[in-house]
Structure 1
Amino acid sequence: MSTKTDKIDRLGELTAAKQDEHGVSLWTEAFRRVRRNPTALVGIAILVIFVLVAIIGPWVAPYSPTDFIGKGEVRSGQGIIPGPSAEHWLGYDHQGRDELSRLLVGARQTLLVGIISTLIGLTIGALVGGIAGAAAGLGGRVGRAVDSVLMRIVDMLLALPSLLLAVSIAALLGASLTTVMIAVGVVSVPIFARLLRGAMVAQANSDYVLAATSLGVKRTKIAIGHILPNSLAPVIVQATLTLATAIIEAAALSFLGLGNPDSATPEWGLMLAEAQRFLDIRPGLAIYPALGIIITALGFTLLGEAMREALDPKLRK
């Protein structure tokens, strides 16, 4: 009797496990893999801290980031910039402003630059790639012509070095924080366009597309309702990775003097650019924002790589 009961229980467990196995979607399974990945957890922890600092930074900053509270103590022309103290944990900057307060408030600007520039690249790139992918998947002379024209434009953008393209756009539009966002966003457009177009062309050869076509479903509906949603996974992963490069490229443009010319608004790239003149006096002024940029970019990269492994069957462990 006991053996029979054990068999029934075992059969129930196997049945439940089988149901769970068949009932898990791609994104649910990917989430489980990411949750078990130590690399992803480290990346998530870094990003959570960064986002929290960006949100609450202006409220927890001990001083106003624009007040010259140490102006009487700082003489940058004479090589005197006081360092960390009990009242000012990271010391003053070259104009007598509290460095810790500027770092905390600057995190929000850095996050906004990364997110908005990535959204610009993702939106335009997905639009171009989606049209090209749908045109290539639909076939026909017109579809192939549209795909060819769009991809040649994308190839021209890809042929230019990303930083050179960003610098050219920023120089044409003039130095400002908005210019940095646009320039960095445009640089990532061809990456998203190529990626989405390739994923849609690969999906167009799938069995479910053939089955839907055999049933008489319109090709436009197949492309928009089925091929496009199934092609978004690699694009979302790339968006996470692009956030890391966007923050670094935005900092590079600010370092080159093409960012926000108003130093009253703290931003890590701008702070790094201003600190280069005082490396021999206070190297910490460059080290603090540089570490913030590096660690934040590392967090996005770790999460993006973990998501790529979780969503790509060839890379799953």
Structure 2
Amino acid sequence: MSTKTDKIDRLAELTATAEVSTGNSLWVEAWRRLRQSKMAIIGASIIAVFVVLAVIGPWIAPYDPTAQLWRGEVFTNRNLFVGPRAENWLGLDHLARDEFSRLLIGARQTLLVGIVATLLGFSVGALIGGTSGAAATLGGRLGQRIDTVVMRVIDMMLALPSLLLAVTIAAVLGQSLTTVMIAVGVVQIPIFARLLRGAMLAQGGKDYVIAAQALGVRNRRVALGHVLPNSLSPVIVQATLSLATAIIEAAALSYLGLGNPDASEPEWGVMLAQAQEYFDSAPMLAVYPALGIIITALGFTLLGEALREALDPKLRS
């Protein structure tokens, strides 16, 4: 638990204390450095391709992803498969469904789960972390007590392995795509909460906060109008990195059978699970969705790391 929380607190502290010496705003400087970062360009390019394919997939997919294209004798024995050919670029799966079409359509579900889960974790986590951080910074003794109670609950959530917590939530709520979104989103909540709270604590001792208090500005206005906006940088960076984690965890839950109950609907985690039985005879059925998951997660990770370096001069290479 200490290792995970220390990393979160360190990211909050480093980003919150970043200063730009050129006179431009932090975000202007970050955008300039992002445009010059090869890592950011590669990550953004991967994400752009993934998003475009997810959006236009239903229109460019050559076949219905649930339709069986050939009911021949080859599918009586499920150890035989039709490989890549002119009419099926990636071949057919064990039920004679076009693999390329299923990958394209499956990208949309994967993107939807990742975005919704991250937005859920970001929204609830930022609300909890912002409230706790404001209470600890400007709320006096009562605020510090509230912050202590909230952080102990967050620490208990962080102490649990994320995948184990997600599996437990998904098993309790039942099998559905919505369940996967909720389970993955709940896992993200303590990370965002602790990160924003740490950044707000780092901002609480700044000169502008002390000056505002000396001028008689209300604590609520100081917290919402000054401390909170200046503490969002590490949370935004974490949101980008969490998209990669959300995609992997959603695929893992689908692989374990906790995702969409309709197994005919294409989703990369479900496709990976279905291919496991035929891995010896048709390993590419597992390789295709696995590569999709890995490359997409890599894109979000590269962009997140580049954004973190751009926002924090101490981390610039």
What TM-score results when the alignment is normalised by the length of structure 2?
0.91
Shift of 1:250: 0.5
Residue range with higher mean Cα deviation, 57-66 or 262-271? 262-271
Deviation at 1:175, TM superposition (A): 1.1
The equivalent of 1:310 in structure 2 is: 310
Q: Which residue number in structure 2 is paired with residue 212 of structure 1?
A: 212
Matches within 5 A, 1:1-317: 21-22=22-23, 24-72=24-72, 74-75=74-75, 77-317=77-317
Q: Percent identity?
A: 67
Distance 1:76 1:37, change over 3 A: farther
Letter in 2 for 1:119: L
Q: CA deviation at 1:76?
A: 6.0
Q: Determine which structure has greater relative contact order: mean sequence separation of CA pairs < 8 Å that are 6+ residues apart, divided by chain length.
A: 2
Q: Deviations over 1:5-25 (max 9, x none)?
A: xxxxxxxxxxxxxxx943x21
How many Å separate the matches in 1 of 2:172 and 2:76? 33
Query: Which whole-Å CA distance do the structure 1 matches of 2:178 and 2:71 have between them?
Result: 30
Deviation at 1:78, TM superposition (A): 4.2
CA distance in 1, matches of 2:22, 2:163: 46
The structure having more radius of gyration, on CA atoms, is 1
What secondary structure sits across from 2:91 in the alignment? Answer: coil
Give, in angstroms, the shift of residue 73 of structure 1: 5.2
Please list every run of 5 or more consecutive structure 1 residues that lacks an aligned counterpart in the other structure. 1-19
Q: Is the contact made by 1:195 and 1:234 (CA closer than 8 Å) also made in structure 2?
A: yes
Give distance in 2, aligned partners of 1:163 and 1:70. Answer: 38
Letter of the structure 1 residue corresponding to residue 91 of structure 2: G
Whole-angstrom CA distance in 1 between matches of 2:145 and 2:151: 10
Contact 1:74/1:94 (8 A) holds in 2: no
Distance in 2 between residues matched to 1:177 and 1:50, nearest whole Å: 20
Amino acid at match of 2:248: I
1:78 to 1:184, Cα distance in 2 relative to 1, 3 A: closer
Residue-by-residue CA offset, 1:87-114 (whole Å, 9 max, x unaligned): 1011111111100000001111000010
- After TM superposition, the structure 1 stretch with the greater mean CA deviation from structure 2, 111-120 or 261-270, is 261-270
Q: Is the 8 A contact 1:134 1:223 kept in 2?
A: yes
Secondary structure class of the residue paired with 1:314: helix
State the alpha-carbon separation in 1 of the partners of residues 172 and 31 from structure 2: 43
Q: For 1:197 and 1:74, how far apart are their aligned partners in 2?
A: 59
Residues 78 and 106 of structure 1: CA distance in aligned 2, closer, same or farther (over 3 Å): closer
Conservation of the 8 A alpha-carbon contact between 2:129 and 2:196: yes
Cα offset for 1:313? 2.4
Equivalent position amino acid for 1:315 in 2: L
Indicate conservation of the 8 Å contact 1:73/1:96, yes or no: no
The residue that corresponds to 1:10 in the other structure is none
Which stretches of structure 1, 4 residues or longer, exceed 4 Å deviation after superposition? Answer: none
Higher mean C-alpha deviation, range 163-172 or range 141-150 = 141-150
State the one-letter code of the partner of 1:120. L
Count of paired positions:
297
**What TM-score results when the alignment is normalised by the length of structure 1?**
0.91
Matched residues in 1 for 2:219 and 2:240: separation?
31
Query: Alpha carbon RMSD of aligned pairs, Å?
Result: 1.2
Q: CA deviation at 1:183?
A: 0.4
Alignment check: 8 A CA contact 2:78 2:94 kept: no
